[in-house]
């Protein structure tokens, strides 16, 4: 293997963390802000890019690619500098599942959401994947740029809500809400399709486009995209935007509890 070989344990159900066990001199890379805890003997170092580059310009170029995906310019590397096994843990940023991906069994390349990467074995390359089709980039929900994880080690991505993993057969097609895609193997063809129908488009509440995923390959889907959760929270937080579930008075109820003043 080119990448460091790490062991791991997942803890929790809906608010998960992953504990990485490192042998002496093994290392793991992680997104800044995902760190939870570590045992004595782990050395932390902040680097440009994903830590795989040697020259300054290559490091700067790697950091620039990460900036295009909306990620931090820096990556944090945790190395076991002791002579015994040590542990470091990382937590997901919101409620959902952490997905372990063994890249050596997945074609050594995974395409994922821009903000889904959590951590990976040292040596895994974290880059960008451009959508080649104009329509997919404009209307696909994820834009022109997605994250690309390459290597033969373990990588971990996080999702919102529950995760459904599916293996698509050759030419098998599945239509998905664009925000529900977490990751897919490089053999899967990703495109978009117009929903169709005036009523469906204007009043369906599901947007104008589906994402289409065509096999062969493996895909991971999430039940609760963070964008959907955030929009619901914002709708309840607006002044006068409270929904009156179960109230026969509807909005008039606000007049009686002072919200209508």
The model's confidence at residue 188, banded by pLDDT at 50, 70 and 90, is very high
pTM of the model: 0.78
Residue 80 has pLDDT above 60, yes or no: yes
Q: Is residue 221 part of a domain?
A: yes
When pLDDT is averaged across residues 18-29 and rounded to a whole number, the result is 96
Choice between 221 and 62, residue whose per-residue pLDDT is larger: 221
Domain of residue 68 covers 7-237
Kindly report which listed range (82-91, 140-149, 152-161, 192-201) carries the lowest average pLDDT score.
192-201
When pLDDT is averaged across residues 51-66 and rounded to a whole number, the result is 56
Q: Is residue 253 part of a domain?
A: no
Q: Is residue 26 part of a domain?
A: yes
Mean pLDDT of the chain: 79
Paired tokens of 224: 């609760």
pLDDT at residue 200, as a whole number? 47
pLDDT at residue 248, as a whole number? 46
Q: Is residue 28 part of a domain?
A: yes
Number of domains making up the chain: 1
Q: Is residue 96 part of a domain?
A: yes
pLDDT at residue 204, as a whole number? 45
pLDDT at residue 163, as a whole number? 94
Question: In whole angstroms, what is the distance from residue 91 CA to residue 166 CA?
Answer: 25
Q: Which CATH number characterizes residue 84's domain?
A: 3.60.160.10
pLDDT at residue 238, as a whole number? 65
Q: Is residue 70 part of a domain?
A: yes
Q: Is residue 89 part of a domain?
A: yes
The model's confidence at residue 233, banded by pLDDT at 50, 70 and 90, is confident
Nearest one of 140, 227, 132, 126 to 178, comparing CA atoms: 140
Residue 175 has pLDDT above 80, yes or no: yes
Choice between 197 and 170, residue whose per-residue pLDDT is larger: 170
pLDDT at residue 66, as a whole number? 54
Q: Is residue 252 part of a domain?
A: no
């Amino acid at each position: 293997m080119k990448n460091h070989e790490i062991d791991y344990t997942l803890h929790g159900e809906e608010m998960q963390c992953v504990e990485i066990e490192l042998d002496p001199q093994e290392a793991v890379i992680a997104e800044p802000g995902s760190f939870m805890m570590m045992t004595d003997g782990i050395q932390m170092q902040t680097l440009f890019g994903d830590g795989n580059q040697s020259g300054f310009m290559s490091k700067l170029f790697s950091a620039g690619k990460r900036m295009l995906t909306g990620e931090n310019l820096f990556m944090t590397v945790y190395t076991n500098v002791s002579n015994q096994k040590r542990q470091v843990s990382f937590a997901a940023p919101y409620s959902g599942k952490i997905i372990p991906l063994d890249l050596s069994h997945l074609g050594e390349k995974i395409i994922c959401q821009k903000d889904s990467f959590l951590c990976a074995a040292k040596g895994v390359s974290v880059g960008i994947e451009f959508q080649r089709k104009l329509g997919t980039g404009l209307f696909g929900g994820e834009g022109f740029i997605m994250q690309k994880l390459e290597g033969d080690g373990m990588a971990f991505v996080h999702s919102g809500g529950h995760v459904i993993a599916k293996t698509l057969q050759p030419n098998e097609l599945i239509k998905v809400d664009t925000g529900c895609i977490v990751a897919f193997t490089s053999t899967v063809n990703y495109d978009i399709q117009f929903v169709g129908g005036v009523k469906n488009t204007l009043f369906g509440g599901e947007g104008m486009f589906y994402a289409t995923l065509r096999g062969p390959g493996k895909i991971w889907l999430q039940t609760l995209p963070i964008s959907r959760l955030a929009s619901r929270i914002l709708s309840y937080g607006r002044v006068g935007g409270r929904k009156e579930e179960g109230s026969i008075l509807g909005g008039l109820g606000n007049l009686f509890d002072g919200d209508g003043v």
